[in-house]
Structure formats: C-alpha cells, structure tokens
Amino acid sequence: MSAFPPPDMSDPWIRRFRPRPEAVVRLVCFPHAGGSASYYHPLAQSPTLPTDSEVLAVQYPGRQDRRRERLLDDIGELADLITDALGPFDDRPLAFFGHSMGAVLAYEVAQRLRERTGKQPCRLFVSGRRAPSRFRRGTVHLLDDTELAAELRRAGGTDPRFLDDEELLAEIIPVVRNDYRAVELYRWNPSPPLSCPITALVGDRDPQAPLDEVEAWQQHTEGPFDLKVFAGGHFYLNTHQQGVTEVISKALADSAQQRATARGNAR
C-alpha cells in the first residue's frame, strides 16, 4: 500500500493521464498559448520518464472539457488559481515544465508557491520562452482572424487540419487570441531569484526566443542553470520528443540525487 493517499482528482485544473500513486516526484506541465493539457499526454506515457515520476498537466479554462468556462487573459489570475489547484499535490516534490506561455506561468506559480508555503519546485523547466526580465512588446493578439490564423501556421504548433476547418478554426481563434493577450500584456514584477535549478530548452531557429534572451533565465535562480538547444523553431519539441524527454529524465534524476545527498548530510 502507498504511503501517500491519492489526492482529490476532481479539480478541473489538473489532468493525470497516467496515475502513479507511489511516484516520488510530480512533473507539472503548463501548456502554450492556445494549448491544452492533452498536449502533454505523450510525455506522460513515455517509457523514458523515470518510473518514480508522475506527469500532471494543467488545463486552462475555455478549452476542451472546460470550453464553456470563461477564458482568463491575465497571467497573474491564472497563476493564483493554478497555485491553489496544486495544493493537494504538494505532499511530495513538484517539478514544473512550461512551454512558451506555459514557461511564464510555471515561473509565476513557482514564485507564488515560495511566497505561500516556503517551498519551491525541485526543478523548473522553461521551454521556448525568453526570461521574464527580457521584455518585448507583442501585438499578435491585435491581429485580425485571418492574420492570426496565418501566425499559427508559421509557428507550427497547431494541427493544419484544424486550421483548414472553418468551424474548428472559429473555435480556436478566440482561445489563441485570449492567451496571446495574456502573455503579451504580462509584465514581470521584479522578484528575488528562485533557488531551484532551472533548465531552459529552446529551438535554434525560434524567432520568439533568441538564445541571449533565453540564457537570461540564469538571472532568475541562485541555483544551477543549464541550457539545451535543439534544431528547430518555436515548436522544436514536436520533432524532438525523445530528446526533450531525456533532458527531463536526467534532470529529475539529478534533482533526486541532490535531495538524497541533502538528507544524508542532515543526519
């Protein structure tokens, strides 16, 4: 029998695709703008992930099974609500992985977790996103529907079949516009650096995340920092799923070793 009682899974914010009640670490995944929890289903099923880890995926309101709920276009409000939803899951270490807008949310939730509980993620993975301290004015949310659909094609993160279907596209556009508004209106509130390790991942041809601005994530932690560069654009991880999973797996194993060492030194 597990030493940990299973958390309440009725909260609409969290998806648990492959429950592992005896996992010693939970990897919380934050989707990109316009994305949903199901984007991380392949990661949750990957045999490469350590067997003592469990993937939890955040489901933002206004999409998929939450499509009737009000969209939220404020990063701070989203981060507050996600932090609340993670409360039942902090009975063991949490690691965060966020891509693009999800990286911003992962960082903001990490900050709130520290403020509320004194805890931090055992590791923060930030993908396809410049550091919060590197501001760049964004105007994608101001594009008309046709221009926004063209931007989605260029970014490459949306199944082209959805973009070619007028009815599906009509459902997607408001969600994408909302999320772009949220992340483009986001402004970093200068905060002390985290102490957890940060691993940044990026495509070498990502116009939204130049390498020098991604490297600036190092300034947001007092802990170790490393940068992993893959061939590709903003959605490099779609074609490098195995490589990304290997990076995550090694980093989680390193964090587990560090915790074990710290426990040993404390005795």
The catalytic site residues sit at: 100, 234
Q: What are phi and psi of 126, to 5 degrees?
A: -120, 125
Q: Could you give the CA distance from residue 34 to residue 152 in angstroms, rounded to a whole number?
A: 10
The set of residues, in sequence order, having a beta carbon less than 8 Å from that of 168 and lying 6+ positions away, is: 161, 162
Within 10 Å of residue 239's Cβ, how many Cβ atoms?
Answer: 15
**Exposed e or buried b per residue across 16-33, where buried means at least 16 C-beta atoms within 10 angstroms of its C-beta:** bbeebeebbbbbbbbbbb
The set of residues, in sequence order, having a beta carbon less than 8 Å from that of 190 and lying 6+ positions away, is: 133
Q: Which two tokens stand for residue 9?
A: 């899974």
Q: What are phi and psi of 74, to 5 degrees?
A: -130, 120
Start-to-end Cα distance in the chain = 27
Of 60, 87, 50, 115, nearest to 257 (Cα)?
A: 50
Within 10 Å of residue 88's Cβ, how many Cβ atoms?
Answer: 15
